Amino acid sequence: MEKIAHRKYREILNRSFKKSFYQFLLKLIIEEKDKEKILKMFTVARYEEFRKDNDRSIWTELDRRSYQLRKISDEIAGIKILDIEKIFKDEQFKDKSNLFKNIYSQSFLKKEKFYEIYGDDMSPRYCSYCGISEDQIEKLFNKDEIKTKRWATRGRNMEVDRVQPNDEYNSELVLCCYWCNNAKTDEFSGDEFKNIIAPSIRMVWNQRLEKKDLSQIQVPAHSKNK
C-alpha cells in the first residue's frame, strides 16, 4: 500500500526539516553574529525551544528574504548574505543536522495522517488544482503527450502541496500533479492558483486528452483530495 506514499513522506520530511534547520541557524546568526557564540548556542536544547515557539513567522520571512537577496552587498538584519551563506555551508553545523532531525521528526506530520491524505497505490489520485488523475497522466504519456524531461523522477505520481506555501507540512495539505506543483511554487496561495492559474492548465490537459480520444477532466476539479 504505502510504497509510493512512504517515499513521498520521506521526501517532504527531509525538505521540511531542511527549511526548519536553516531557519534556526539563521536565527542564531542574526542574534549572535559571532561564529564561536553561534556554535555555543547551536544545541539540541535551543532547537527544541525554537520548535516550541508557535510564532516563527519572522524567521520564515527572513529565510525567504535571504534566498531572494543574492548581491554581495545585500544584508539581512545588518549581516551580509555572503557571511550567512558561509555559516550555512560550514561543516561544523551541517555535521550535527541529524541530531536536530530526530527532534524535528517527533513533531512532524505523522505517517498515518500522511498515508490517509496520500492514499494507497490501488486507489485513484487526482490533482486538487487542475483535476487530472494519475491514470489520465499515464495515458497521455503512452500517447506521447507528456513533454517533461523529468518524467523518470517526477510526474507519474501525485505530489503533496501546502495550500499556503510558507506553512509547514503540518498544515493544510492537498494532492497535486507535478505541473501544478511546479507552477504554484512558493509564490501563490491555494485560492490564487486554483481559481486563476489551474483552469488554464486544465484546458491544456483537456485539449491533449481530446486529441487522443481520451476522457477529459471534469470541471470543477475532483474534490476527493480537498
pLDDT digits (tens, 9 = 90+) for 5-57: 999 999 999 989 998 999 999 999 999 988 899 999 999 899 999 988 877 88
- 223 inside domain: no
Which of 107, 141, 169 is the C-terminal boundary of a domain?
Answer: 107
223 Rama class: left (phi>0) / alpha (psi -120 to 50) / beta: alpha
Same domain for 143 and 189? Answer: yes
- 33 inside domain: yes
**Can you give the residue range of the structural domain that contains 36?**
3-107
Same domain for 49 and 131? Answer: no
C-alpha cell at 6: 512512504
Same domain for 12 and 39? Answer: yes
Same domain for 85 and 148? Answer: no
Q: Exposed, middle or buried by CB within 10 Å (0-12, 13-18, 19+), for 111?
A: middle
Q: pTM of the full predicted structure?
A: 0.84
- 164 inside domain: yes
Same domain for 155 and 191? Answer: yes
Which of 52, 80, 107 is the C-terminal boundary of a domain?
Answer: 107
Extended beta strands in 99-172, E state? 159-162
Alpha-carbon torsion 72, 74, 78, 81, what sign? negative
Same domain for 130 and 59? Answer: no
- 47 inside domain: yes
Same domain for 16 and 98? Answer: yes
Q: Is 185 helix (H, G, I), strand (E, B) or coil?
A: coil
Which of 50, 79, 107 is the C-terminal boundary of a domain?
Answer: 107
Separation CA 104–CA 130 (nearest Å): 32
pLDDT in tens, 146-155: 999 999 999 9
pLDDT in tens, 210-219: 999 999 998 7
Residues 87 and 35: beta-carbon distance below 8 Å: yes
Tell whether the model's pLDDT for residue 225 goes beyond 50: no
Position 80 scores a pLDDT of 85
Tell whether the model's pLDDT for residue 4 goes beyond 80: yes
pLDDT in tens, 49-103: 998 887 788 888 888 888 787 666 788 888 888 888 888 888 888 777 888 998 8
Tell whether the model's pLDDT for residue 160 goes beyond 50: yes
- The CB density around residue 196, as the number of other CB atoms within 10 Å, is 10
Q: Exposed, middle or buried by CB within 10 Å (0-12, 13-18, 19+), for 102?
A: exposed
Question: Domain tally for the chain?
Answer: 2
- The CB density around residue 83, as the number of other CB atoms within 10 Å, is 14
